[in-house]
Structure formats: C-alpha cells, structure tokens
Amino acid sequence: MSYISEIFGSMVFNDEVMKERLPKETYKALKKTMLNGESLDINVANVVANAMKDWAVEKGATHFTHWFQPMTGITAEKHDSFISASADGKVTMEFSGKELIKGEPDASSFPSGGLRSTFEARGYTAWDPTSNAFIKDAVLCIPTAFCSYGGEVLDKKTPLLRSMEALNIQALRILRLFGATETKRVITTMGPEQEYFLIDSELFNKRMDLKYTGRTLFGAKPPKGQELEDHYFGAIKPRVAEFMKDLNEELWKLGISAKTEHNEVAPSQHELAPIFTNTNIACDHNQLTMELMKKVASRHGLSCLLHEKPFAGINGSGKHNNWSISTNDGINLLEPGNSPRENARFLLFLCAVIKAVDEYQDLLKVSVSTAGNDHRLGGNEAPPAIVSMFLGDELTAVLESIEGDSTYDKKYNREMTVGVDAIPVFPKDTTDRNRTSPFAFTGNKFEFRMVGSRQSIAGPNMVLNTIVAEELSQFADILEKADDFNKVLNNLLKDTIKNHKSIIFNGNNYTDEWVKEAEKRGLLNLKSTPESLPYFTAEKNVRLFEKFNILSRIEIYSRTEIVLDEYCKEISIEALTYIDMVKKEIIPAVASYIKELSDTACSKRLFIAYAECETESKLVDKLSLLMRSLYNKTELLENKLIGVKNFESSVEIADYSRSHIFETMQELRAVIDELETNTSKKYWPFPTYGELLFSV
Ligand code: ADP
Ligand code: MG
C-alpha cells in the first residue's frame, strides 16, 4: 500500500471501518440512515457507539466531543472523557448510543441573537450521521447539529442540512417527470477552494493589528506588489512546500482530499482545492482545513492569514464555492447531457438556477456579507458587490435561441428545440474561464466566488440550495399538470429566460461600465454589510425560508442581529487597535525620529556656522504636520466610538459604524501610511508591506 492510501482517512470512522467493525445488520441500518436521512434507532446507536469508542481508544483517544458549528462561524467542542467508574472502583471506557446521538453543551456562551435568555440556556447537539466521526488531538469528534430545547436552531449546520433536504425533495419531483424512477436521492456537491496568505511568524508577532484583527490596518504600498504577477503558479518556495506537505498529510488523515495547491496572484498568497463531496461534509471539511492551516503553519514558523483582505491594494482571499447538483447514482444534473432528454433536463435545472440567482440576488449577497468581505468585494481582483451570472457565449447563444425560436448558431444554421435537439459539446476552455464573474458556470457546476475566505460555507450554500429548491418546486407545479410535456417545458424555459436574462453577464465584471450597466438593468449593488443585511428579513425571503421549514421568522431576525453585532464588534476592535497602535507605537516612534532630525539640525548650526539644514527642517515640518493630523484623527476616532451609545438598534449601530467609525479609520490610515513613507526605517516599529509579503 502506498503511504498516502495508508494514512488517508486513518483518523476517520469511515465506511471501511464501519464495515469491518459493525455487525452486518447494524451496518445496514446505519447506512440506510446515512443515505436516506432517516433517524437512528437507539439500539443501533448503542452498537455503533461502542464500536466507535473501541476504535477511537485503539487510536489513542481518551475523550469524545460533539463537534458543532455555532453562529460564531468557527467550530466548537466540549470534551467529555470516556472514563466512567465501575462499582468495584475500577475505571472502564464507556460511550453509549445516547451520548453518541445527543449531547448537551452549555449553550449560553454561544450567540443566539436574543433567542434565549441565559437562564434557559439549554441546548442540545444531535449527531449528523451523514458526516463521519473522526479523531483530532486524541479526541473523538462527532459532527453534530446544535438546537435549543425550544427547538430553535442555533447553528449553521441544521439549516444547511434542511436546505439539502428541501432541494432533494423538489429535484426528485422534477426527475420523476423525466422518467427517473430509480433515483433515490439528490444531493448538492461542493468543492470549496480556499485562499490564504502565509507570512513569517516573527513578523506577524510584531504587528498588533495582525494579531488582534487578522489584517494590517495600515502599511504603505511596497515598491513591488503583484504588478508582475510572477507569483501566480510560480515555483513554490521550499518553506511553503514543507508546510503544504505537512498540511496535506494532516488533512489526508482526516479523509480530506487536498488536490491541488498553488500560488495565487498576490505574493505570499496560496490556494488549496479539495476534491468535491456532499455539501455538508465539504462544510465540515472546510472548517477543519482552516483550523489545520493555522496549526500546521505555526509548526513551520509561519502565520496563516485567513482574513478576506489582509493587505490593502493586494488581492484579497475568497473561497470559491464550486456547487453542483447530483443524483445518488452520480449523475451531475448541471452537466449538459448527450441526448435531447438529458439536455432538456439540464436546461431546466440551469433555468432554475438562473431564476433563483436573479430573484434572490439579495439573499446571496446577505450570505457573504461580513466586515472582512466588505473590503474584498469590489477590491483588486475580486467580484464587485453586484450579483450576476456568467454562462459563456455558447450557452448564452443556446438560451437566446430558445427564447427567440431562432437559430443559435448562425454559421452552422443550427436550431435548438428543447426535448428534440441535443446541446452541442462546447469546447471546455471557452466556457469555464471568466475569473471576474461572481457566479460562473464552469461546464458542470457553478462557482460562487463572492464567499469570503474566513467564512463558513454553510450559509451561502444554505441559501443556494433553498432558492434553487423554490424554483424547482415552482417548475414542478407547472410541469406536473402539463398535458403536452415538451410544449409546456419549452414555454417554461422561454419565459424564464426572457424574464431573468438580465442577471446574465458574460463581460468583464471589474469595469466601471458594468457597474453602470447593472444599474440600468436594475440589479442590486449592496456595497456593505449594513446595506445588505436588512434584505435578510424582507418578507419574500422570510416566506421562502418558512415555506421549506429551514429558518423561522424569529430565527431569521435573530441571525440578522448576530451578523450585524459581529460586524460592529469587528469594526470596534479595529478602531481600538488603531488607537492603541497610534498612541503606544506610532507617536513615540515618529517623535523620536523628529528629535533626531532636530538634534542634527541644531548641531549643524552650532558647529558649522551658516550650515545648510534645510532637509532636516523640511522633514521636521512635514512630520510635525502629519503628527498633528494623526493626533486629531485619533481623537476623532475615540469620539466616534463613544458616539455608538446614541444608537439602539443593531441596524443603526452597524450603519453608524460603517459611515462614521470605518470612514474615520480610512482617513487615519492615509495619514499613517504617509508617516511610514517619511519615517526612517530605524524608527518605524513595524514590518512593512514589502517585508511581510516577501518574507517567506
Ligand atoms: P479549476 O477551477 O481550478 O479549474 P476544477 O474546475 O477542476 O479546477 O475544480 C475546482 C474545484 O471544483 C475543485 O475543488 C473540484 O473538486 C470542484 N468540483 C469539480 N466538480 C464539481 C462538482 N460537480 N460539484 C462540486 N464541486 C466540483
Ligand atoms: Mg476554480
């Protein structure tokens, strides 16, 4: 056996282990639960728990935990020991089915957006048997969903699982109409490409901003940035290669298949792409990947930055959310097929996605709105805040031909009648490359590129699954009643294309022309989190989530609170960090430099009569002016922070944080960057952009 296949999944209670360790009947029952999403019988759970424990103890585990994803966006775990005392005073290792299925963490310390008062802060976690248990740091981790006893959802995973179920049900309705009687289940598949920066830890530790906020709050532009684009797919440096090798092994042990790793456009930026899998598993895996990236980096004297915009003026980091829909027998429903029937099916699913993205642009934007991602969207090499869709010229031509009953290919005089004709095979490289689009069709999947690098992918995918489920349900309602299926289908597609084609844009999304054009088309341009979040509670969206029982009205409101609250906290921490760095480090440093310059000027005058000290004097003047401005702006920022007290609602506070605190920070930053440019290297107390970006 090769080394990789030996370690791959070695820390996962996966299918192979289950087959080997579970009695046949138990294995079958568990598999049924996993594949059909049925609930688990307690007797089965007891047997599974025991086998799981034995396996984990053999692998050196001493504790177990229900591993879950609260609204903080990172994972949480509370460790319990397997050890229990027996009557004769000895200890035994125990783990029951009850403990496997359900856990009771103290829910009070997790954000609930006002859903629970703390005296009734009881919540429970429930195993998601579709995601395998694994061992991390000698702890058996059981992937779970997290709810309150009142039944409110407190985590990111439960709505994601529900949205997958909603899409399953609606997609099956459609597939039945196409004669698929065998298909049992439809799942969404996901391959999140993760971008990140690696910098030297020693330099990282010299910057309070990186430590507290994850990004540089200031930093003058380096003489060399990413202009040359010589980093992209360039040779990977030895230290980074070592890190990647180590990271891969850690990921493989957990059954996470890191497939490609390469440099990104910005210096020090890299990307990891896993092989796609079920969306909920991909979500668990991505959380683990981010955690391990940080941990493994520190072993190599590196710091892994997952922030969406660690450096102004340099590419930000995103998570390219590659999403598709697939049947349990492995048919990709977003892949053009070979026969007219398969093509009609493909076009129907495609139109469902087009309609969904158009009608729920707001929700898609809401799902990627965070303080960090606000810096990125619309910045260098990132999609703007406008949601649009790239389909490529060929596919767009096909849609236009369907809409207009005309030939889609003038050269070959080809026509396209749904249900009768097959879509031609597109040359792949012409369809799958438009890096500027926020939502691009890439041949057999969609790549939603607005997702932020630090974010959990649960939210964006919950939205995607739900909005597509809604459109499929509308389509199924119409088609199930149709007498002449092909005719009704043709008309349905035609209408959908006509009404929703304004969301399709195949050009360059980075240009100002597109921003103007999008406005003309009536597309939303929600630039910031405070602008976006109120759309979450729009009546049409509440109705949507309630219809599929994914989130209740109260849960949607509470989630809005949580996101806005998080936004305000992040801005406030950044403001406080600015103030601290200015007072404790920047002012003293520049003052010392000014003193040295003045001393030099004085001594020149003293010892050499009529000496020229124009340079020193000019610099002292300039720095003194900047220092005054720095001081004033810092004082202004302090006052703005106090000003928060005048507002009550989270929407108001978020708006204020954006328009006052954030804006003042931007002004302050400009002054600091100017100071950095004019201060001697000897005195400037922080590693510069050049040093940070070209250190590894
Ligand atoms: P690139 O975009 O760099 O050309 P690929 O298109 O091969 O690379 O894949 C990018 C990511 O998309 C990978 O993580 C891959 O696993 C994922 N992916 C490929 N096919 C699907 C699919 N059907 N569903 C979800 N993700 C997919
Ligand atoms: Mg890609």
Phi, psi of 174 (to 5 degrees): -65, -45
Output the pLDDT for position 118. 43
pLDDT band for 202, please (50, 70, 90 cuts). very high
Please work out whether the CB of residue 189 comes within 6 Å of at least one atom of ligand 1.
Answer: yes
pLDDT digits (tens, 9 = 90+) for 27-65: 999 888 877 767 788 899 999 999 999 999 999 999 999
pLDDT digits (tens, 9 = 90+) for 350-389: 999 999 999 999 999 999 999 999 999 866 566 679 999 9
Cα–Cα dist 663/641, whole Å: 12
Please work out whether the CB of residue 274 comes within 6 Å of at least one atom of ligand 1.
Answer: yes
3-155 CATH, one of 2.40.30.10, 3.10.20.70, 1.10.1660.10, 3.30.450.80: 3.10.20.70
| Residue of minimum CA distance from atom 19 in ligand 1 | 276
Cα–Cα dist 517/378, whole Å: 16
Summarize the confidence of residues 118-138 as an average pLDDT. 80
pLDDT above 70 for 226: no
Does residue 315 contact residue 269 with C-beta atoms inside 8 Å?
A: yes
Lowest mean pLDDT segment, chosen from 83-87, 573-577, 590-594: 83-87
**Average pLDDT over all residues of the chain:** 89
Task: For residue 156, give Cα distances in angstroms to 72, 286, 307, 516.
Answer: 9, 13, 20, 36
Cα–Cα dist 111/124, whole Å: 15
> Both tokens of residue 362?
């707001």
Summarize the confidence of residues 79-90 as an average pLDDT. 79
**Which of 187, 190, 251, 445 is the best mutation target for the ligand 1 pocket, counting ligand atoms within 8 Å of the beta carbon and taking the most?**
445
Does residue 100 contact residue 80 with C-beta atoms inside 8 Å?
A: no
Residues pairing with 415 in the sheet: 407
> Both tokens of residue 523?
């597309």
pLDDT digits (tens, 9 = 90+) for 639-674: 999 999 999 999 999 999 999 999 999 999 999 999
- Exposure string over 37-47, b if 16+ CB within 10 A, otherwise e: beebeeebbbb
pLDDT band for 119, please (50, 70, 90 cuts). very low
Which top CATH class is 163-551? alpha beta
State whether residue 508 is helix, strand or coil.
coil
CA-nearest of 271, 262, 203 to 236 is: 262
Lowest mean pLDDT segment, chosen from 239-243, 294-298, 457-461: 239-243
Please classify residue 537 by burial: count the beta carbons closer than 10 Å to its beta carbon, then call 0-12 exposed, 13-18 middle and 19+ buried: middle
Output the pLDDT for position 651. 93
Does residue 660 contact residue 643 with C-beta atoms inside 8 Å?
A: yes
Tokens 């290919």 belong to 409
Cα–Cα dist 40/251, whole Å: 29
State whether residue 231 is helix, strand or coil.
coil
pLDDT band for 342, please (50, 70, 90 cuts). confident
pLDDT above 90 for 104: no
Lowest mean pLDDT segment, chosen from 120-129, 269-278, 606-615, 656-665: 606-615
pLDDT above 90 for 687: yes
Output the pLDDT for position 106. 67
pTM higher than 0.85 for the full model? yes
Please work out whether the CB of residue 123 comes within 6 Å of at least one atom of ligand 1.
Answer: no
Output the pLDDT for position 107. 64
Ligand 2 (ion): residues with CB under 5 Å are 320
Summarize the confidence of residues 334-343 as an average pLDDT. 86
Does residue 326 contact residue 189 with C-beta atoms inside 8 Å?
A: yes
Summarize the confidence of residues 162-170 as an average pLDDT. 96
Output the pLDDT for position 448. 96
Summarize the confidence of residues 63-77 as an average pLDDT. 86
Q: Which atom of ligand 1 is nearest to the CA of 334?
A: 23
CATH code that applies to domain 567-693 = 1.20.120.1560
Please classify residue 424 by burial: count the beta carbons closer than 10 Å to its beta carbon, then call 0-12 exposed, 13-18 middle and 19+ buried: middle
Instruction: Return the ligand number nearest the Cα of 289.
Output: 1
Q: Which atom of ligand 1 is nearest to the CA of 274?
A: 14
Please work out whether the CB of residue 446 comes within 6 Å of at least one atom of ligand 1.
Answer: no
Q: pLDDT exceeding 70 applies to what percent of the chain? A: 90
| Pair type for strands 63-67 and 139-148 | parallel
**So where are the chain's domains?**
3-155, 163-551, 567-693
3-state secondary structure 231-250: CCCCCCCHHHHHHHHHHHHH
pLDDT above 70 for 505: yes
